[in-house]
Amino acid sequence: MLLSNAVEIGRRLTETKELVPNGEWRKWLTESVSYSRAGKRGQMVQRCTI
């Protein structure tokens, strides 16, 4: 995966987290995204640090 793709995925996940009701984020990720939890967290952290 290209770095730019990972950054875009992280950006979209970060934006989506703002829309998901409080306490429902992990459930939403499990049901909606086929990446590992660690990978999702890493992409979000990467986006926040760039």
pLDDT in tens, 10-48: 888 899 999 999 999 888 888 887 765 555 555 555 555
pLDDT at residue 50, as a whole number: 44
Range of the domain at 11: 3-49
* Counted domains in the chain: 1
CA separation for the pair 34, 16 (Å, rounded) = 15
Q: Of 18, 49, 29, whose CA–CA distance to 6 is shortest?
A: 49
Closest C-alpha among 48, 47, 19 to residue 32: 19
pTM over 0.75: no
- Provide the pLDDT for residue 41: 59
